[in-house]
Amino acid sequence: MPAIGLGTFGSDHVSAGQIAEAVKGAAKIGYRHFDCAAVYGNEAEIGAALQDVLASGIRREEIWVTSKLWNDKHAEAEVIPAFKQSLADLRLDYL
């Protein structure tokens, strides 16, 4: 796991598109860890950005992506669907 990563929380003052551009820029200068969460509301945009990163020649094996379950997704029936949604939004096969 890389020692330094880019957090993708944008709150209400940074748009999902701006975060996605930050992901692409960070990957370009050497970042390889991206810390995400469904509750941030930007995993789909980050997923599109990650596809651009991978298309640039950076291999998936080089990239470390983390996500988190929000508090309302910890019930047994919610964990797997929430995880699968993050995978789908991030356009990844694994985290």
Stretch 70-84: mean pLDDT: 95
Whole-prediction pTM value?
Answer: 0.93
Mean pLDDT of the chain: 97
Provide the H-helix boundaries in 1-95: 16-28, 43-55, 76-90
Select the more confidently predicted residue: 15 or 11: 15
Rounded CA separation 24/28 (Å): 6
Q: How many residues appear in the chain? A: 95
Task: Choose the catalytic residue: 36, 40, 67, 73.
Answer: 40
**Any catalytic annotation for residue 31?**
no
Q: Domain spans of the chain?
A: 6-90
